[in-house]
Amino acid sequence: MPNYNFIQLDVFTDRAFCGNPLAVFPEAEGLSDERMQQIAREMNLSETVFVLPSEKEAVLRRLRIFTPSSELPFAGHPVVGTWNCLARGGVVPLPENGNGWVSIKHEVGIGVLPVDIEFKEGEPGRVVMTQGKFEIRGEIEDWHEQAEIARALGLAREDLDETLPIQAVSCIHARDDRNRRSARPRAIFHRTEYRRRSGHRQRGRTIGRLPGLS
């Protein structure tokens, strides 16, 4: 039965145990949908990404993004974190002299989208992704709900601008090249080499192995 390596990252930070946690399986071929969901549930992180070959022309990889309860067609920090991880793992071709931008295409649940990665001295420093065109799902008009939102932002309801609506929006269902997101996820983490019953830690990233999965 095959083994599957995974890498656990903290995205949007340069300190271990901060930022947004993410697990990435860089070579997930052979895992069924059911097994991917089971692994994501076991990881119990906001998202776990399974990286697969893509059958689309000129697409470098296909990403499947799972929460502990379901698969997502698209999400931001998993894309940024995964491509930082894959770039460090040699999946992304380096620019000349190891400095500059590389543009690639990847496949996610909402389609094929571009990703741009900036390298400095052979290391990825910035990932710029395209996300879906935002869709307005509705407006929040109830005074009490607005007060709850204001309170979550550390504001009073009276601080809100009455001329601007509070809207619930989503950007995971349709593509629009005008919506670009840039981040410097850095390399983010602590490193663990798992051996069934024992392990050791170093500063860096978490690298684990799930033995005997199919």
Least confident of 12-26, 80-94, 162-176: 162-176
For 124, the 3-state DSSP assignment is strand
Residue 36's CB is within 10 A of a number of other CB atoms, namely 20
User: Over the stretch 15-43, which tens digit does the pLDDT of each residue have?
Assistant: 888 989 999 999 999 999 999 999 999 99
Q: Which of 27, 34, 42, 47 is catalytic?
A: 47
Distance CA 71, CA 170 (A): 16
Contact assessment for residue 50 and residue 22, using Cβ atoms and an 8 Å cutoff: no
Percent of the chain's residues with pLDDT above 70: 79
Active-site residue flag, 47: yes
Contact assessment for residue 181 and residue 80, using Cβ atoms and an 8 Å cutoff: yes
Residue 50's CB is within 10 A of a number of other CB atoms, namely 26
pLDDT-derived band at 193, boundaries 50, 70, 90: very low
Q: Where are the domains of the chain?
A: 4-133+176-210, 135-170
Rg (CA), the chain: 19
Q: What is the dihedral of CA 38, 40, 46, 47, to 10 degrees?
A: -130
| Residue closest to 112 by CA, chosen among 58, 53, 182, 180 | 58
* Mean predicted confidence (pLDDT) in 127-154: 89
Fold assignment, 4-133+176-210: Diaminopimelate Epimerase; Chain A, domain 1 (3.10.310)
Decide if pLDDT at 188 tops 50: no
Distance CA 3, CA 31 (A): 11
> In DSSP terms, which residues pair with 167 in a beta bridge?
139
For 204, the 3-state DSSP assignment is coil
